[in-house]
Structure 1
Amino acid sequence: MFKNDSYMCPQRFFSNDDFQDELNNLFNKKFQFRFHNDWKLPEKESWFSTPPWKVKQLEILKNRLNFHKSQLNDFNIEEWSSHTRRRNPAGEVCWRLRCLINPEFLTQAWTKFYECACTYRIIPAEATLERKMVSLHLCEAPGAFITSLNHYLKLNHQNIDWKWVANTLNPYYEGNSPSNMISDDRFMFHTLNNWDFGVDNTGNLMDWENSQAIIRKAKSLGKVLLVTADGSIDCLQKPDAQEEVTSPLHYCEIITALQALSTDGTLIFKLFTLFEHSTVSLLYLVNHLFSEVNIYKPVTSRQGNSEVYAICLKYKGSASLEEFLPTLKSAYGSEQYGNLALFPLEAIPETFLKQIEECACYFCSIQCQVINNNIQAYLMQKNIALHSDIKKIRGIVASEFIWQYDLKPIDYEQEIMKGALHEENKINMNPRYHRGSYTERQLYTKMSLREKLNNLNSFLQAEVLSNPMILINEPVKWMYFYNEYTELKLHFTYGCPLEKINSSKFIFVPIFKLYQQILAEEEFKEIIFSKDGKSIDNNRDYGLEINMRLLLPDFEHSESYHVFEKRCLKMLLQSMQKLSQGQTLLVQNINMATHFNVSVIYIITKKCFEKIGFTSENTIILKNLKNKSALNYLELVDAECDKMKIDGTKDVLNSLKVQTTNVGDFYNSIIFYNNTFYRNKCLEYLTKIEKFV
């Protein structure tokens, strides 16, 4: 059945006069720059030539906003988030859309993009006339802007032949930090050919060569008539410096977009506040390059945060930018961008600064008012009338959203994934991790080692040991994968050599973050890797005849991880070469947090042994060697690693496609093994530290 079959067009909800003004304000948080003909771009020689500067009026606004935000420092983040969710006027929009429209991959980002698309003419006339367009989506994970754009095009521009390319920090590259990366790959996993992670496979847009590779891929598909950029960086530890922290990323997004876009194209990028010289200069630049520049806060963007979107229409073309490219490149992803201002203050007209102040003041006032209202409501939680009004407004906003943007379902056949995403139900491997208040999190950094140890121990008890569903709770978890007749095709992925593991698709994130937090203390690390702290050999036989044991070393962070990993591969390969058919190998202390190691284990289990056992003691059992000739696969992998070692700039990151390893029982078994492996490491390390602190 198609989704349209049971859809009935909702009537507009006519709210009473008490809420009409508020409704208008919620749906019309906009500012449009008014271009003056006497505005001129500064001479090329003055770009990045002066130190950072401040505008007095913007500094006053910044201090005002930070004062209001500082009142939240002592609020527990979980309680406060729950409170503001209840008070969010647009809080029912997603729920109502899911019930009536059931869009593909519906998230808050989906609704925000749809508002931008409906509020401004983001599809250029050329795309409508020529019936084709390419869109490029920067810092896009998990991908809801793309599914939202697809829904919008299917309802409003059905005749356009649309192609897309997306970029984001690669969730399959373990060197990326989880605090800056969206690890949700539900959409990406199925559309991987449309994603570009640059020449080094990290997906880091702040690398110039990566940026150029992404631009080339997008342009190879045709005219790029829409670019979106939704990048951000985790600022939870620096809530008063969100604009400064994210500004270098926004610069890279915009410079990439300006090179990729075709004439008359549209650029949509996320911003936060407009107080710093960097944002002022960038907005002055885009005002010269687009016929219309708007700043817009969608109704489904959280009212209490600083997020806004710049909607830039009718690009004047990249030709006018070419003479400045060497200068723009020099600051791209470099310290120069932080140390110097893009334009001197005196080169920016007073008439433009006045508009910036007007815009900054407007959005700052909205945010301050919302924070105040939320604090008052938090302190007056027993006021029933207050909550009653919010409930009515939430219902009105949800109805108005669907009516105003004329939202209707599309058929599954019109979706990018043809309905497949509606069926998927993956476990959330990365739940909200931050706990307590901002003040409490800051206090942790000032604790003594003993206090930190107690804090880490209590987290282990509360978050890890209390969740038995994610661990191996039996002596051996056996899995059968062997299939000598199935053809296994090696597919090498190359990229930036892995210095250390910062993230993994094969583990419950809170466990791994605890492990990282323990090792973040140099004093703890010294104790853990002292001679007294070496891992003890496990001599259990699990009721089996063990023909050979291989104890792999601990990664002691004294070398690059990729060097350690490839050394372990050689040790494993040498052990397996000594085995005879029918024999069993027990491998101790094998770390399977990377795609490289997981692909190696996949090859072994699929082509070599009758079955594999994952134990609760950091051990895997490779039972009954069936096919020694299958070791040829591992020898090919080892040879490829040696070849890359000579090159030095790249390494083998994976020897199979992620679509092969990251699915089904095998994938789930690896996750259970890693959860248990790192839980055991945390217990072992904290026990050792206890003796010395």
Structure 2
Amino acid sequence: MEDDARLVPRSGLLQTATNLSSPIKDAPGHVDDKSNPYKPQIDKYEVNQMFEKKFFYQKPSGEDGWKLPKPDEMFAEFYQINTLQELKPKLNKVKSKLNDYSIEDWSLHTRRQDPSNEIPWRLKNETKAEFVTIAWCKFFECLHSYPLVKGPHLNSLHLCELPGAFIAALNHYLHSTFQKSEVRWRWLSTTLNPYYEGNPSSGMISDDRFMFHTFDNWLMHDDFTGNIISRNNIEQMQEQCKQRLENNVQLITADGSIDCVDAPDCQEEVVASLHFAEITTALSILADGGCFVVKMFTLFESSSVCQLFLLNCVFEEVHVFKPATSKRGNSEVYLVCIGYKKETQYLPELLQKMKENVECINILPLFPKSHLPTDFLLQHEICARLFMNLQIEAIESNIQAYEIKPTRRQVIYKQHLRTHTANEFYTRYKVSCIAEEDKILFSCPNTNENCKSKPFCKGSYSEREMAKDTTMEERIFALHRTMNNLEKMLDLNYGMNFHEESENSSKSIPEFRIYRGALFTELLSSLFVHPFVIQFHQKLKQILGRDPIFITAPSCTADDMKIPINNDKTRSFSLLPRQFLIQLLGTIYEKQPRKIVFSNIILLTHLSVSVLRFLALYMYEHLNISTEPEFKIELQSKRDKFTKEQISTLKKLHSLLVDDLNILCILPIDKLHRNEFANALTNHNNQLLLKNFKLALNN
């Protein structure tokens, strides 16, 4: 480690594990046989250090305390902190050593090298904890390492939360710390909404298994996007928390990030606007005395420096923490802010200006450079250097292990280290089981992940960069190769036909659940197709310059009548025209056809799928979804006429779609996902899209 790695703060700033007692010796699996060379002694200090990667800011008191500037001094100038900027190339130089490693091989290698990778397995299989992920483990560490929860009565808000691991971890913490009869917990959450097809798939997590069963707790705002980089949405969240949580939110978490796999040297800059929105939201909603946990990365940019100064001015304590279960080679750290001082001078005016600027793409630093105290900047530099050096050390260690085949002794040491690390996690955090009925998704069926597969991004960073300069022929060849990989990866049920049948007499009038939101004119995501197929669609559309979704002509007939789809292929969108759905409902209302046939039609939006589901559940007795010999979706009725009730409902729905352009879905979400109908429709869409993509590539 280089000289600056040994730079340490003055007493009290850096919390180390040097003097901590370790429970490892008495933990299960402890090895103390010095005579056997293959039962190595585990360094207790090494294990403790993994749990003590912490830093906290010491603030002067009284008149010398750190204070916010006047609001008219905000966003006044652009600048950088030179000493911090000098650290960036040093870190990036080490990161660049990874450029030629395949992302799949490197990810597998670092998982094997991670001393903490036994912890999630044990939590899932021994403790039977709910919804365990790495994020679950990291937040569980935060909860036990800092006084974030003052008692069993708690209101919490979780930003950028999908798939929901922080919520599950908090539930486990509450029920393993307090008596069940004591716990009074209410929570709300928000995230980029996977049920909104106008949100880009690259910015979302598609795993909705937790959200699906708790959707009423998720705030998606009037535009249904779940996007917090919006002043209107932040203010709506304030109002919702005021109404539903009595304006008393004591804990806010923010675990947001943006995929930076193709810009690893600019991660901090890429996520800056998201962090700004998270902090703005939290400080606008959090109750006096509350706590805030937010994930950040490197802390070199002036925007991050100002955000840390802001948090130090408005919280009693600000800690920077890298949990033991956080991957050692990445840049992520968690800011743990305790004791919100809501009455801080100038804070209301500052928050107002922050909300006004939250949608700006390139935002200036919050405060002028001259207002940042020297002692704060010194501490911040120490903090940035500390976590940078921990990351450099981890990357270098992983590279060495990758390039040099480990000895048997080293392999065994790693195995024992993983066991001791897991034992330390269990002992330090007093991990225990909770009752099944105390789990959030207790008794909820079908909570399996809807997308288990390898990363879509493949190859090394260098290979992906070189691919940007290839010829069109080379790009087409690469797309063919990706297409073949997709077909192997996806669990496609070729030739599987779906049939659903019900008696007309058993059909009840539907409970419409109208979801409204901002209109979108281009399909950017969909939960009715595999996420990798959508990503491939975006890449294919970009390279070919046209949309390949409707390359095979779609058609719809009602008995012998043809219903025009009027999809303008020259326009760049992948949506069935709304007018087609309105005309379809109008035709059914007027003509009452016994049979509806959709040929080569791909239903990808909640509006189109909910209309189909409405017709299948409440108008027709038979639904067939087939992929061979043709791609067809058929609705068929035994009766010549619908009931008066059915006709009345159909007319009501038709009028709704005509009069309200903001309707995005007409049925409850739970009728459209995680059932046999959804599986069959997704399989149909996957196969038809891949067929269309092949035709587009061959022409």
Normalising by the residue count of structure 2, what TM-score does the alignment of the two structures yield? 0.88
Q: Does 2:364 correspond to 1:340?
A: yes
**Range with bigger deviation, 235-244 or 207-216:** 207-216
Tell me the amino acid that sits aligned with residue 252 of structure 2: V
Tell me if the contact between 1:551 and 1:589 (Cα under 8 Å) persists in the aligned partners.
Answer: no
Tell me the amino acid that sits aligned with residue 663 of structure 2: V
Tell me the amino acid that sits aligned with residue 180 of structure 1: G
Matches within 5 A, 1:167-186: 167-186=190-209
Instruction: Please state whether the residue corresponding to 1:609 is helix, strand or coil.
Output: coil
Instruction: Tell me the percent identity.
Output: 33
Instruction: Please state whether the residue corresponding to 2:209 is helix, strand or coil.
Output: coil
2:474 to 448, 451, 457: 451
**Range with bigger deviation, 380-389 or 255-264:** 380-389
Q: Distance in 2 between matches of 1:150 and 1:467?
A: 35
Shift of 1:560: 6.3
Matches within 5 A, 1:207-286: 207-220=230-243, 221-222=245-246, 223-286=248-311
Q: Closer, same or farther in 2 for the Cα pair 1:620/1:23, shift >3 Å?
A: same
Tell me the amino acid that sits aligned with residue 582 of structure 2: K
Q: Distance in 2 between matches of 1:145 and 1:21?
A: 29
Q: Does 2:694 correspond to 1:683?
A: yes
Q: Which residue of 1 aligns with 2:432?
A: 408
Q: Distance in 1 between matches of 2:221 and 2:130?
A: 27
Tell me if the contact between 1:30 and 1:295 (Cα under 8 Å) persists in the aligned partners.
Answer: yes
- Residue-by-residue CA offset, 1:30-60 (whole Å, 9 max, x unaligned): 0010112322322221100112x21122112
Q: Distance in 2 between matches of 1:318 and 1:681?
A: 59
- Residue-by-residue CA offset, 1:157-202 (whole Å, 9 max, x unaligned): 3324111111111111111112211111111111111110112110
Q: Closer, same or farther in 2 for the Cα pair 1:429/1:611, shift >3 Å?
A: farther
Matches within 5 A, 1:406-445: 406-418=430-442, 420=444, 424-428=447-451, 431-445=454-468
Matches within 5 A, 1:95-134: 95-124=121-150, 128=151, 132-134=153-155
**Range with bigger deviation, 81-90 or 424-433:** 424-433
1:595 to 600, 603, 606: 606
Shift of 1:454: 0.8
Q: Distance in 2 between matches of 1:15 and 1:608?
A: 69
Instruction: Please state whether the residue corresponding to 1:520 is helix, strand or coil.
Output: helix
Tell me the amino acid that sits aligned with residue 441 of structure 1: R
Q: Which residue of 1 aligns with 2:618?
A: 607
Q: Does 2:579 correspond to 1:567?
A: yes
Q: Which residue of 2 aligns with 1:520?
A: 542
Shift of 1:638: 3.0
- Residue-by-residue CA offset, 1:516-548 (whole Å, 9 max, x unaligned): 211112x5428x69xxx9645789x9xxx9644
Give 1 or 2: higher helix fraction: 1
Q: Distance in 2 between matches of 1:180 and 1:599?
A: 25
Q: Does 2:645 correspond to 1:619?
A: no
Q: Does 2:382 correspond to 1:358?
A: yes
Matches within 5 A, 1:262-341: 262-318=287-343, 320=345, 321-335=347-361, 338-341=362-365
Tell me the amino acid that sits aligned with residue 663 of structure 1: R
Q: Which residue of 1 aligns with 2:523?
A: 501
Tell me if the contact between 2:523 and 2:573 (Cα under 8 Å) persists in the aligned partners.
Answer: no
Q: Distance in 2 between matches of 1:602 and 1:429?
A: 26
Q: Which residue of 2 aligns with 1:628?
A: 642
Q: Closer, same or farther in 2 for the Cα pair 1:537/1:189, shift >3 Å?
A: closer
Tell me the amino acid that sits aligned with residue 288 of structure 1: C
Tell me the amino acid that sits aligned with residue 523 of structure 2: I
- Residue-by-residue CA offset, 1:314-333 (whole Å, 9 max, x unaligned): 11115641122332122112
Q: Distance in 2 between matches of 1:525 and 1:238?
A: 27
- Residue-by-residue CA offset, 1:258-302 (whole Å, 9 max, x unaligned): 111111111111010110001100000010101110000000000
Tell me if the contact between 1:546 and 1:585 (Cα under 8 Å) persists in the aligned partners.
Answer: yes
Q: Closer, same or farther in 2 for the Cα pair 1:546/1:644, shift >3 Å?
A: closer
Q: Which residue of 1 aligns with 2:118?
A: 92
Tell me if the contact between 1:258 and 1:318 (Cα under 8 Å) persists in the aligned partners.
Answer: no
Q: Distance in 2 between matches of 1:613 and 1:345?
A: 66
Tell me if the contact between 2:555 and 2:565 (Cα under 8 Å) persists in the aligned partners.
Answer: no
Q: Distance in 1 between matches of 2:450 and 2:306?
A: 43
Shift of 1:427: 4.0
Q: Which residue of 2 aligns with 1:64?
A: 90
Q: Distance in 2 between matches of 1:535 and 1:97?
A: 49
Q: Distance in 1 between matches of 2:291 and 2:337?
A: 6
Tell me if the contact between 1:208 and 1:329 (Cα under 8 Å) persists in the aligned partners.
Answer: yes
Q: Which residue of 2 aligns with 1:637?
A: 653
1:41 to 57, 68, 79: 68
Q: Which residue of 2 aligns with 1:152?
A: 173
Shift of 1:514: 1.6
Instruction: Please state whether the residue corresponding to 2:658 is helix, strand or coil.
Output: helix
Tell me the amino acid that sits aligned with residue 593 of structure 1: L
**Range with bigger deviation, 547-556 or 150-159:** 547-556
Shift of 1:561: 6.3
Q: Which residue of 1 aligns with 2:185?
A: 162
Runs of 4+ in 1 over 4 A off after TM superposition: 10-18, 481-484, 536-539, 548-551, 559-562, 577-581
Q: Distance in 1 between matches of 2:331 and 2:427?
A: 27
Tell me the amino acid that sits aligned with residue 520 of structure 1: Q
Q: Distance in 1 between matches of 2:140 and 2:687?
A: 42
Q: Closer, same or farther in 2 for the Cα pair 1:458/1:412, shift >3 Å?
A: same
Q: Distance in 1 between matches of 2:573 and 2:122?
A: 50
Tell me if the contact between 2:533 and 2:686 (Cα under 8 Å) persists in the aligned partners.
Answer: yes
Shift of 1:613: 2.1
Q: Closer, same or farther in 2 for the Cα pair 1:345/1:614, shift >3 Å?
A: same
- Residue-by-residue CA offset, 1:634-682 (whole Å, 9 max, x unaligned): 433332222223xxxxx11100010112132111111111112211221
Tell me the amino acid that sits aligned with residue 654 of structure 2: D
Q: Distance in 2 between matches of 1:430 and 1:549?
A: 40
Tell me if the contact between 1:537 and 1:551 (Cα under 8 Å) persists in the aligned partners.
Answer: no
Tell me if the contact between 1:555 and 1:561 (Cα under 8 Å) persists in the aligned partners.
Answer: no
Q: CA RMSD in A?
A: 2.4
**Range with bigger deviation, 547-556 or 109-118:** 547-556
Q: Closer, same or farther in 2 for the Cα pair 1:659/1:514, shift >3 Å?
A: same
Shift of 1:123: 1.3
Tell me the amino acid that sits aligned with residue 343 of structure 1: F
Q: Distance in 1 between matches of 2:503 and 2:477?
A: 45
- Residue-by-residue CA offset, 1:138-159 (whole Å, 9 max, x unaligned): 1111111111111111122332
Tell me the amino acid that sits aligned with residue 503 of structure 1: S
Instruction: Please state whether the residue corresponding to 1:628 is helix, strand or coil.
Output: coil
Tell me if the contact between 1:591 and 1:597 (Cα under 8 Å) persists in the aligned partners.
Answer: no
Q: Which residue of 1 aligns with 2:12?
A: none
Instruction: Please state whether the residue corresponding to 1:470 is helix, strand or coil.
Output: coil
Q: Closer, same or farther in 2 for the Cα pair 1:429/1:496, shift >3 Å?
A: farther
Instruction: Please state whether the residue corresponding to 1:110 is helix, strand or coil.
Output: helix
Instruction: Please state whether the residue corresponding to 2:495 is helix, strand or coil.
Output: coil
Q: Distance in 2 between matches of 1:670 and 1:342?
A: 49
Q: Does 2:421 correspond to 1:377?
A: no
Structure 1: 5+ residue runs without aligned partners?
Answer: 1-9, 646-650, 689-693
Tell me if the contact between 1:570 and 1:638 (Cα under 8 Å) persists in the aligned partners.
Answer: yes
